[in-house]
Each structure stands twice: as structure tokens, then as C-alpha cells.
């Protein structure tokens, strides 16, 4: 039994068009003097939230718990 490999449904022409649009938008932003907005780094998880995240990872990896059950911890 062999596994089927599906190729991507995008063509190189559509990818080239996307890249051209992005480069055009960046050129317009450079001419206007505007910069892309970017949010800063998120603060570190501490306290109870950190313990809950570690317990969720532990339950998934070592106990075989289903991902959908994690919300009920």
C-alpha cells in the first residue's frame, strides 16, 4: 500500500502575483513614510497560568489525554 502525495494547488503565477502585490504595497508605504505595524513581545507566563500550561503539556504527552479535554482541567 503506497501513500499518495498531493501537490499544492497554487501555481507559480499566482505566487508571483502575490509577491508583486506585497512589493508594490511596501514601495507605497516607503514613499509615504509609514511603517508596518507590529505588536511587541508578549509578557512571560507566570504563576498559575504557567502551572496550568505545564500540566496541559504533561497530560497530553505522558498520560495520553485528548486535546479537547484539556479545557476541563
Q: Within a domain: residue 66? A: yes
Q: Range of 32's domain?
A: 12-36+45-72
How many domains does the chain fold into? 1
pLDDT in tens, 2-55: 566 666 565 667 778 888 888 898 888 888 887 767 777 888 888 988 888 888
Q: Which residues contact 45 (CB under 8 A, 6 or more apart)?
A: 53
**Dist CA 12 CA 68 (whole Å):** 38
Q: Within a domain: residue 23? A: yes
> Do 59 and 70 meet the contact criterion of CB atoms below 8 Å apart?
yes
pTM for the complete prediction? 0.36
Q: Which cell goes with 37?
A: 505595524
Amino acid at each position: 500500500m503506497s501513500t499518495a502525495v498531493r501537490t499544492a494547488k497554487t501555481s507559480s503565477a499566482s505566487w508571483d502575483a502575490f509577491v508583486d502585490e506585497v512589493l508594490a504595497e511596501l514601495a507605497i508605504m516607503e514613499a509615504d513614510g509609514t511603517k508596518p505595524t507590529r505588536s511587541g513581545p508578549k509578557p512571560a507566563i507566570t504563576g498559575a497560568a504557567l502551572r496550568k500550561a505545564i500540566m496541559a503539556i504533561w497530560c497530553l504527552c505522558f498520560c495520553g489525554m485528548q486535546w479537547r479535554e484539556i479545557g476541563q482541567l
